[in-house]
Amino acid sequence: MTPQHGAQVQADGSTRFSLWAPNARNVTLVIAGRVMADRPEVVMTAEQDGWFTARVPEAIGCRYRFRIDHRLEVPDPASRWQPEGAAGPSCVIDPHSYSWQVSDWLGRPWHETVLYEVHPGVMGGYSGIQAQLSRLAEMGVTAIELMPLNEVPGQRNWGYDGVLPFAPQSSYGTPEQLRQLIDQAHALGLMVFVDVVYNHFGPEGNYLGEYAADFFRTDIVTPWGPAIDFRRQAVRSFFCENALMWLQDYRVDGLRLDAVHAISEQSFLVELASQVRSVLPPERHVHLVLENEHNNASLLAEGFDAQWNDDGHNTLHALLTGESESYYSDFATDTTHKLARCLQEGFVYQGEPNRHGVARGEPSGELPPTAFVLFLQNHDQVGNRALGERLIHLTEQPALKAATALLLLSPMIPLLFMGEEWGSEQPFQFFTDYHDELAQAVREGRRNEFSEFSAFADAVARNHIPDPNAAETFHASQPNWSDLELPKHREWADYYRRLLQLRHQHIIPHLVGSRSEAAHVLADKAVTASWTLGNQSRLRIDLNLSETSVTTPPFAKAAKVIFAYGEDVAGAANHLPPLSVVVRVEAEA
- For 334, list phi and psi in degrees, rounded to 5: 50, 40
pTM of structure: 0.96
- Measured CA to CA in angstroms, residue 212 lies from 21, 37, 206, 411, 418 at distances of 5, 30, 11, 46, 38
CB 289 within 8 A of CB 255: yes
Closest CA to 383 of 136, 135, 161: 161
Q: Which of 258, 310, 421, 467 is catalytic?
A: 258
Contacts of 236 (CB under 8 A, 6+ apart): 230, 268, 271, 272
- For 498, list phi and psi in degrees, rounded to 5: -65, -45
Amino acid type, 498: R
pLDDT for position 458? 84
Q: Has 345 been annotated as catalytic? A: no
Closest CA to 130 of 149, 146, 106, 114: 146
* Successive 10-residue mean pLDDT values, the chain, 589 residues: 91 96 97 64 96 94 96 97 96 96 97 98 97 98 98 94 97 98 98 97 94 94 89 97 98 98 95 97 97 96 97 98 93 97 98 95 97 97 94 97 98 98 96 94 90 83 91 95 94 98 98 97 98 96 97 88 89 84 84
Closest CA to 426 of 145, 136, 117, 122: 122
- Measured at the alpha carbon of residue 250, what is the angle toward residues 268 and 34, in degrees to the nearest 5? 100
CB 373 within 8 A of CB 115: yes
- Check the CA dihedral 375-379-385-389 and report its sign: positive
Q: Which of 291, 305, 380, 433 is catalytic?
A: 291
Q: Has 517 been annotated as catalytic? A: no
Q: How far apart are CA 288 and CA 113, in angstroms?
A: 12
Q: How far apart are CA 423 and CA 496, in angstroms?
A: 10
